[in-house]
Structure formats: structure tokens, C-alpha cells
């Protein structure tokens, strides 16, 4: 069905849901994304101007521009200067053949959206070799159903590795192999819910996807503010009945802060006091450039912390390999509440185990750390040269940084203008659960940005910002 | 914690749940399996005699012996003639080191439990080569997040292949890559539930695991009887409000029947009348020995049928690759209700696509069909020689057959006696949701039985049966 441009909202019956489903801009984004994914809005379709859609939906224009900007960053929409915002992507494979013009839309040349490691640096030869070794030498019984919780060899190597590299205190039985951090958090949320927990504190700002996962599991995501010292643990006491909190203590997303030592202790005291649990998202803690990586808080109280981690920020999200480290009580609940748990292929589990065992994984991490640090230096330098007035923060670790923008600059306009230059960036505001904040700026991911594209990307960004004043 | 032998049930607080959770023997089995998996009962622990546990749990002895037998078949327990039934397996990796004696327990030498293809025949070299080709030649962008629904190349090849080999009518958009039939049914059940459907008709007898998946998704599994013509479609009308039914029309599990043509038509008429949906489990339809495989009913009405299939019965369950073919409406619901859907690794999806494209998958199927037909012939012949009185049925297709036993034989005792001979078999009664049936016999899977072990396995089975008269 071709959607008319003039009254898209009405025709599409965008279901924005209830206020309890999150802030308006997120609900608008979700509704649009779903309509695009399902093919209800075809590739190439022009969306109505934000003012008009806002009027149709009876919401603020900001919510619509924010939603558009995020969908541009995610690649669903494309913006062209002086023209309407159009649908650019669909997982409908016929879309291209239906609208040949769309085929020629260039992909983002400069990918500064956060969330990806350097896909060019995937250790292809080593991975292929590890798979080959396992596939050709494994006992035939390894081709049967994998045991619950994952292959024991990988669980043993992970327990050992995490103890060594992240200060994690875990036996192999405490490790459950899953497919991603979101998969792990989803499964734990179901276990929490089965145990009578109804809400999970979520960092504000924080990773939107995990907040959605918490909500989809039937739990209430409670925003807990963060500041320069990380999660404001004092605020936890203000939420009576709260017994679970999701946090990234080693490297807060998106602000890039570290949870300060007194708050690490306070967080665990809180968990013990309320008989609760801390969900520790350890997504990219290895990439620390100023000192040794901050150890996981899991090691400080393994009975109160569930740690999540995946290969998505280290090797590739295409592998679908992650793990949960949980105390026996929660591992037990996990196995009870999710009996159809999906695991990565046994062969891939064994291939990853081979990389861990041979030291290839460590070498990849070391090489990656060096590569990302150099790229960060280049990026920070380029930003200082081209955008001398804009403060940069969160640069000590990880694969992204924060670029604050003056209040005179329209962030959404920057994202849109950047997209017309094949530059994908994300707005800081998008990671807030509420509209009650002053975070004005961009989250610039450099994990998947080609080294030789950094200065050109920053030049395009400067132009986009200048255009949006 | 070591559990004392004399009052295991009381110590363990086995939670049998409610009658609505299924028949007693299943609930006892689940409770024991959970306790073993969680390490609450250690490897080597002797279970109380069935009479005693039955008294402790206030249930029939049959329910306990049935539960023990199934857990023996699943490898959790082991039986020794003249000795107590003991816990043999745990995913607790320390179990072995804690109890060195357990390390020497032989694995089942003769695996006649249904559900596995020949793990010895996994095309190792081809798979390793397909992965290597993909890993080394894929565009670097393939290492990013996979698109929702699976890699489009695999979806295209599957739509084409399924049309050719199974009479399935599907566009690539109708194909959703998932990790197994249970994963697919779980996801569809969540979508059904979100759409207001509350119950799913399940074949009686039928695959226990899927019944559990239906229940875990919050839907009511309604037993629908099957007979020599497959699912008794006339019975559907007796369940007012029922709008979904799960069936394996090409090869009923475990009875091995085919849904007769008039019932295929009746099933689709029923689905249209109640505005419902048929969940078609196409698990091993390729292995048909008497004629061409029966086409999927999906092709007869693609708007009313959702088809499920995986590589678990063809290549290996360790790969975790499956697919759902659904009409656009349900594909849409699937994407909406399960936004954290797990996919197999993109690299594995591409490797499988390579096997499909090169014809290697077809060749593997043809070679497998020949291998299984020969093995079935050997097995049927051995059964006729060693157990001339026992009727064999369901031999025209698939990887298992039914061996009926005289009423004078205690089936549970046979399973236990077989286990002491390292022979793993399953009881037909275990696949019934209720105790209201006369099915007296065994389900013998020969997919993963070594060719040179067939006659010895049957000799052991005969001895186990003779011992249980």
C-alpha cells in the first residue's frame, strides 16, 4: 500500500501507546520504525513535515524531529537539504525493485553512530581457522543438542578469563552463554519478574534499547540520574520497593563516566539492604585509554551482581555470542524461567573458546585498544581544530565520545544535515527516558569509522552544525 | 548440598505445580530435572524407590516410574539392575571432580531416543569450507547487526528452496530466520497471545517439548487426538473458541502417520471458518521412504498456515538454525512482539546459504535419505527376527518407528532395563498429555544409531523386554 504524503499519520494509524510506554519521541520513533519495517510505509515515501505530523499526532514538534533524527541515524530515513525526509531502508527485499531510485541511495559513508566495533578489523582468518579446527576435530557428540547454559569448555574458559581480565569472581557454573547483552538482560528480567520484582532502575541517560527490553519484559524502568561520578546511588533510596538496578559502572553509556569508588560501595550496600540485585552492563570496559580497565563490581559482591557482556563491541554483533555471570540463585531462576533459551551454535562457542585459549582474543583486544586510542586522538584533534568552541567529554574509554553543542544550535537539524552528507550521528537527547534534561549535543561513535575518514567526517559535521545555527 | 536418600522428596521441596501444568508424570519429571540441573541433587545420588517417592508426593507409582524412565532416556538418571536409580548427569562441571566414580559411567552406547539425525554424518568439511568462504569474502558490513528476520540472501534461497522441495508458497519476506522449531513456535505463540488467542490445539500424542512451549507462552495446549489418518480434524469443531492448532501433517510425531488428504482440506476449512491459523511442524518431512515427501499444507493456503522447520533433524541441532514461514500479518506480529529476537550468527546463515546454493544441501539430504532407509530396513529386520511378536509401525518416513509391546510387559521396566544395558529408548506414553490412552510401547529413534550397532542394540532391547514381562 502506497501511503499518501499529506496525511500519513491518519492513514497509518500510528499507535503511539500510553505515556507509560516512554517519552513521546520514543513512542513516535517506535511507531514509525514498525511501520517502515512492516512495509506499511514504503522505501522512498516522503514523510510529512515535522510540524504537520506533530499536529496530526497532537504532540510537540520536538518529539517528531527527534524521532525523525533518530531514524535517520538508524538508517531508516534519509534527509535531503531542501526536500522532504524520506524512507530509505526497509527489510522488504522487494523494496529496491519496486523503487529503483532507492537503490542508488548511498549508504552512510561516515558511520559515527555509537554501538559498533571496527567491522573492518574482524579477525577473519583466525575465526575461520578456529571454526575449521573445531568442526573437523570435535567429537561427533558435539553436534547434538548443546547442554543448558552453554558449552562447558567455553564456560570454564570464560570464568577463568573474566577473573583474570575483569576481576570477576565466578565458577564455570555461574556463567550462562547467551546471544547478546540485550538477550541476557531480557532473560534476567523474566527471572526477576518471576521472582516478584516489578521495577528496574535504569541509568538516565542510558542505553535506550535496554530500557525497552526491561519494559517489554513487563517491568517498570525507573530512571535514575547519572552525573560526573556515574549513577547517583543516593537517589536509589528514594524509590521505595526498588530492588534491581541496571548500570554500566565501568563506562556509563552515553556519558562515558566511571562509577566512583564510594558509589560502587554504596550501590552494593543498597543491594544488600533491599535484598536486591545489580545488573552490570560491562559492554566495552576493555577499551580504557587512561589507565587499566576498571574491574567489574561483580567481583566485589558476586552474590548481588549479575554481569552481562557480549562480543558485539569486541569482535562483531553478527556472531551473536554473549554471556551472563550470575549467582547460583539467579542462574537457577534463569534456567527455570527460560527453558527454550537460545544459544549460539556450539561450533561458534568452541571457536570462541579456541580464541580465548590460544591468546588470540587477548591479542585482538590489545590491537583494538591501540587502534581505537589512535582513532580517538585523531578525532579529538580534528574536533578541536574544526569545532574549537564545542566541549568534548567521555574520551577516556570506550568507542564513543560526547560533543556538546551550544544552545543556539538545533541538534535535530544537525543530525538531519549530517545525514544529507552521508554522515550518521546520534543525538544525546535520544538516550534520555524523559524530556526533563539539558543535555544538548551529539554522541559520536568512532568504533566503526574508517581511520582515513576521520577528518573528512569532522569537516562534514562542522558544515552540518554551521548550517543549523 | 548432598541430599539424603531416604526422604529426598521432602528435602528437595519438589514443586509439582498445578494440575493445569500438565499430567503428573510430566510435572514430576520437570521437578526432578530442574533439581538435577541446578545441582540440588548431585551426580551419583541415589533416588528413593518409586513406591516411596510416590507416597511422599501423594501420587501414583506409575507417575514416578514414568518420570524416572524419561529421565533415564534423557540421560539425567541411570538405572542399574538390583540397585537404586541414580543421578548420572548434571551440567555442574564440578560434579565429576566431586564424585570421581561418576566419571566412569559409560554414555549410552546405543542411542535409540528419537530426535537426532546421524551426528556422525555431519558434513564437517563442507561446513568448515562454507564458513571459511563467507568469513573471508563477506563485505565488512556483514559483520554488523543482522537485519531483522535474518539475512536476506538466506531468506531468498530458503523461499526458493522450500517452493521447490516442499511446495511452500513464500516470498523472501515471508521467511523469518530463527534458531529452532521450538524457538519459532515460542515466538509465534507470543504473537498469537498478543493477538488475543488463548489456546492452541496440540496433537495427542505429540511432541512434549512443543506442548511445554505453548504452555510457557501463556497459552492453553488443548489435546486433539490423532489416529491412523493423522490429526482428527473433526474434533476441532468441538472446542469452541479454538483458533490455532499445532500439527505435523507430513509426519506425525510420534505415531508416524500422514494427515490424509480429506483432513488436510478439512483442517484449512476449519482455519478459515474460525479465522484461525495452523502451525505446521515440518520437522523431518524430507525423510520419506515409500514415495515422494508429502508437500507442506502451507502451500495449500499460505494465508492460514505458519510453517516451522530447522536444521536440527537434517544437519545438527548444534547449529541453531531454523526458520518460520508466515503470512505477512503474522510476520508483522512476530516482529512487533519479539524485538529482541535472536538469530543464528550471520556467518552461519551465509554458510547455510552457500550449501543451499551449491546444491550441497540437496546432496546431503539425498545421501541421508538413503542412509536412513537402509538403517531402518536393518532395524525392522532385526526387530522381526528378535521380537517376532511385537508390531512395528510408522516406518514409512522419518527417523523413528513405533514398537508396540504386549500388555504383559511393563514399558517403564523395559526403559529402565534397557538403560542398564547402555541402551536409550523412549516410552510412547511419555508423549501423551493425559493418562487416558492405551498406547503401550516404545518410540525407537534410529537417526543417531551407528549402523554397525543396530543388531546388538536390538538384542539388548529384547533382553530388556524379556526381563520386564
A22 chain-B contacts, CB cut-off 8 A:
none
Q: Does B216 touch chain A (CB under 8 A)?
A: yes
Counted residue by residue, chain B has a size of 469
What is the torsional sign of CA A90, A96, A100, A101? Answer: positive
Q: Note whether B145 contacts A342, CB cutoff 8 Å.
A: no
- Mutate: best of A15, A135, A194, A323, partner B, most B CBs <10 A: A135
Alpha helices in B174-260 (DSSP H): 181-194, 208-216
Interface of A with B in 275-304 (CB under 8 A): none
Q: Confirm if B119 and A141 have CB atoms less than 8 A apart.
A: yes
Side-chain-side CA neighbours of A122 within 13 Å: the count stands at: 27
Q: Note whether A171 contacts B94, CB cutoff 8 Å.
A: yes
Distance CA A428, CA B346 (A): 30
Task: Give the pLDDT of chain B (469 residues) as one tens digit per residue.
Answer: 333 333 344 445 576 777 767 778 878 887 887 777 666 677 777 888 888 888 878 788 888 888 887 777 666 787 766 677 888 765 443 333 323 233 333 456 888 999 999 999 999 999 999 999 999 999 999 999 988 899 999 999 999 999 999 999 999 999 999 999 999 999 999 999 999 999 999 999 999 999 999 999 999 999 999 999 999 999 999 999 999 999 999 999 999 999 999 999 999 999 999 999 999 999 998 999 988 888 999 999 999 999 999 999 999 999 999 999 999 999 988 887 766 678 999 999 999 999 999 999 999 999 999 999 999 999 999 999 999 989 999 999 999 999 999 988 999 999 999 999 999 999 999 999 888 888 899 999 999 999 999 999 999 999 999 998 8
Distance CA A96, CA A104 (A): 9
Is it true that domain B5-98 has CATH number 1.10.10.10? yes
Q: Note whether B144 contacts A93, CB cutoff 8 Å.
A: no
Q: Does A336 touch chain B (CB under 8 A)?
A: yes
Is it true that domain B122-359 has CATH number 3.40.640.10? yes
Min Cα–Cα distance to chain B from A132, Å: 5
Q: Does A348 touch chain B (CB under 8 A)?
A: yes
Q: Confirm if A210 and A246 have CB atoms less than 8 A apart.
A: yes
- Give me Rg for the CA atoms of chain B: 22
Q: Note whether A316 contacts B92, CB cutoff 8 Å.
A: no
Q: Which residue from B136, B155, B319 is facing A125, i.e. has the nearest CB? A: B136
Q: Note whether A148 contacts B37, CB cutoff 8 Å.
A: yes
Distance CA B323, CA B180 (A): 7
- Looking at chain A, the domain(s) classified CATH 1.10.10.10 span 5-98
Q: What's the pLDDT score for residue A9?
A: 46
3 state DSSP class of A97: helix
Q: Note whether B317 contacts A125, CB cutoff 8 Å.
A: no
Sheet holding B400-404, edge to edge: B392-393, B400-404, B441-445, B426-427
B216 chain-A contacts, CB cut-off 8 A:
339-340
Predicted ipTM?
0.80
Compute how many other C-beta atoms are within 10 angstroms of the C-beta atom of residue B81: 11
How does strand A244-247 pair with strand A230-231? unpaired
Q: Note whether B144 contacts A119, CB cutoff 8 Å.
A: yes
Q: Does A124 touch chain B (CB under 8 A)?
A: yes
Nearest CA in chain A to B33: A336
- Looking at chain A, the domain(s) classified CATH 3.90.1150.10 span 111-117+363-467
B318 chain-A contacts, CB cut-off 8 A:
142-146, 345-347
B43 chain-A contacts, CB cut-off 8 A:
none
Q: Which residue from A131, A142, A342 is facing B179, i.e. has the nearest CB? A: A342
Q: Note whether A132 contacts B131, CB cutoff 8 Å.
A: yes
Closest CA to B201 of B192, B67, B26: B192
Nearest CA in chain A to B125: A136
Q: Does B128 touch chain A (CB under 8 A)?
A: yes
Q: Note whether B173 contacts A317, CB cutoff 8 Å.
A: no
Q: Does B228 touch chain A (CB under 8 A)?
A: no
Q: Does B186 touch chain A (CB under 8 A)?
A: yes
Q: Which residue from B91, B144, B212 is facing A148, i.e. has the nearest CB? A: B91
Compute how many other C-beta atoms are within 10 angstroms of the C-beta atom of residue B22: 20
Nearest CA in chain B to A341: B183
Q: What's the pLDDT score for residue A5?
A: 33
- Looking at chain A, the domain(s) classified CATH 3.40.640.10 span 122-359
Q: What residues are paired with A426 via a beta bridge?
A: A443
A34 chain-B contacts, CB cut-off 8 A:
335-336
Q: Does B451 touch chain A (CB under 8 A)?
A: no
How far is CA A346 from each of CA A144, A154, A283, B212, B317, rounded to the nearest angstrom? Answer: 9, 10, 23, 24, 9
A448 chain-B contacts, CB cut-off 8 A:
144
Q: Which residue from B136, B183, B318 is facing A144, i.e. has the nearest CB? A: B318
Is it true that domain A111-117+363-467 has CATH number 3.20.20.70? no
Min Cα–Cα distance to chain B from A188, Å: 13
- Residue A415: enclosing H or E segment and its boundaries? helix A411-420
Q: Note whether A128 contacts B119, CB cutoff 8 Å.
A: no
Min Cα–Cα distance to chain A from B92, Å: 6
How do the residues of chain B divide into helix, strand and coil, expressed in percent and rounded to 5?
45, 15, 40
Q: Cell triple for residue A2?
A: 502506497
Distance CA B334, CA B173 (A): 12
State how far Cα A124 lies from the chain centre: 24
B37 chain-A contacts, CB cut-off 8 A:
148, 335
Distance CA B334, CA B194 (A): 10
Q: Does A20 touch chain B (CB under 8 A)?
A: no
Q: Which residues of chain A have pLDDT under 50?
A: 1-11, 91-106
Residues 6+ apart with CB under 8 A from A123: A315, A355, A360, A364
Amino acid at each position: 500500500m502506497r501511503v499518501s504524503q499529506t496525511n500519513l499519520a491518519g492513514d497509518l494509524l500510528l499507535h503511539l501507546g500510553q505515556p507509560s510506554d516512554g517519552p513521546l519521541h520514543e513512542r513516535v520513533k517506535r511507531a514509525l520504525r514498525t511501520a517502515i519495517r512492516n512495509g506499511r510505509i514504503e522505501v522512498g515515501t516522503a514523510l510529512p513535515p515535522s510540524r504537520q505530523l506533530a499536529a496530526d499526532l497532537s504532540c510537540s514538534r520536538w518529539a517528531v524531529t527527534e524521532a525523525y533524527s533518530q531514524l535517520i541515524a538508524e538508517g531508516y530515513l534519509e534527509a535531503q537539504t531542501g526536500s522532504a525526509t524520506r524512507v530509505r531502508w526497509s527489510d522488504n527485499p522487494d523494496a529496491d525493485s519496486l523503487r529503483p531510485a532507492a537503490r542508488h541511495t548511498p549508504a552512510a559513508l561516515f558511520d559515527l553512530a555509537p554501538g559498533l566495533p571496527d567491522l573492518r578489523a574482524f579477525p577473519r582468518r583466525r575465526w575461520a581457522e578456529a571454526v575449521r579446527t573445531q568442526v573437523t576435530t570435535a567429537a561427533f557428540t558435539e553436534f547434538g543438542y548443546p547442554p543448558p547454559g552453554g558449552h562447558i569448555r567455553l564456560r570454564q574458559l570464560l570464568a577463568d578469563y573474566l577473573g583474570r581480565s575483569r576481576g570477576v569472581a565466578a565458577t564455570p557454573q555461574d556463567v550462562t552463554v547467551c546471544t547478546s547483552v540485550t538477550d541476557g538482560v531480557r532473560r534476567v528480567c523474566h527471572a526477576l519478574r518471576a521472582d516478584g520484582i516489578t521495577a528496574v532502575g535504569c541509568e538516565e541517560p542510558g542505553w535506550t534499547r535496554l530500557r525497552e527490553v526491561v519494559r517489554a519484559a513487563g517491568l517498570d524502568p525507573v530512571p535514575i540520574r547519572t552525573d560526573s561520578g556515574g549513577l547517583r546511588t543516593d537517589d536509589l533510596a528514594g524509590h521505595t520497593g526498588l530492588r534491581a538496578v541496571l548500570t554500566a559502572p565501568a563506562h556509563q553509556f552515553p556519558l562515558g563516566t566511571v562509577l566512583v569508588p564510594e558509589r560502587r560501595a554504596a550501590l552494593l550496600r543498597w543491594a544488600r539492604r533491599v535484598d536486591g540485585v545489580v545488573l552490570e552492563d560491562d559492554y566495552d570496559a576493555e577499551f580504557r585509554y587512561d589507565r587499566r580497565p576498571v574491574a567489574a563490581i561483580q567481583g566485589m559482591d558476586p552474590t548481588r551482581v549479575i554481569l552481562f557482556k557480549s562480543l558485539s563491541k569486541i569482535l562483531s554483533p553478527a556472531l551473536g555470542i554473549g554471556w551472563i555471570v550470575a549467582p547460583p540463585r539467579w542462574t537457577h531462576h534463569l534456567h527455570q524461567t527460560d527453558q527454550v533459551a537460545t544459544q549460539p551454535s556450539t561450533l561458534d562457542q568452541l571457536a570462541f573458546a579456541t580464541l580465548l585459549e590460544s591468546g588470540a582474543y587477548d591479542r585482538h583486544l590489545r590491537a583494538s585498544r591501540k587502534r581505537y586510542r589512535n582513532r580517538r586522538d585523531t578525532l579529538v584533534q580534528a574536533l578541536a581544530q574544526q569545532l574549537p568552541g564545542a566541549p568534548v567529554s567521555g574520551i577516556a574509554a570506550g568507542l564513543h565520545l560526547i560533543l556538546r553543542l551550544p544552545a543556539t544550535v538545533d541538534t535535530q537539524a544537525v543530525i538531519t544535515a549530517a545525514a544529507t552528507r552521508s554522515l550518521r550521528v546520534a543525538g544525546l537527547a535520544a538516550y534520555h527516558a524523559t524530556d526533563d534534561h539539558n543535555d544538548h549535543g551529539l554522541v559520536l561513535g568512532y568504533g566503526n569509522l574508517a581511520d582515513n575518514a576521520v577528518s573528512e567526517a569532522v569537516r562534514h559535521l562542522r558544515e552540518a552544525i554551521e548550517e543549523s545555527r
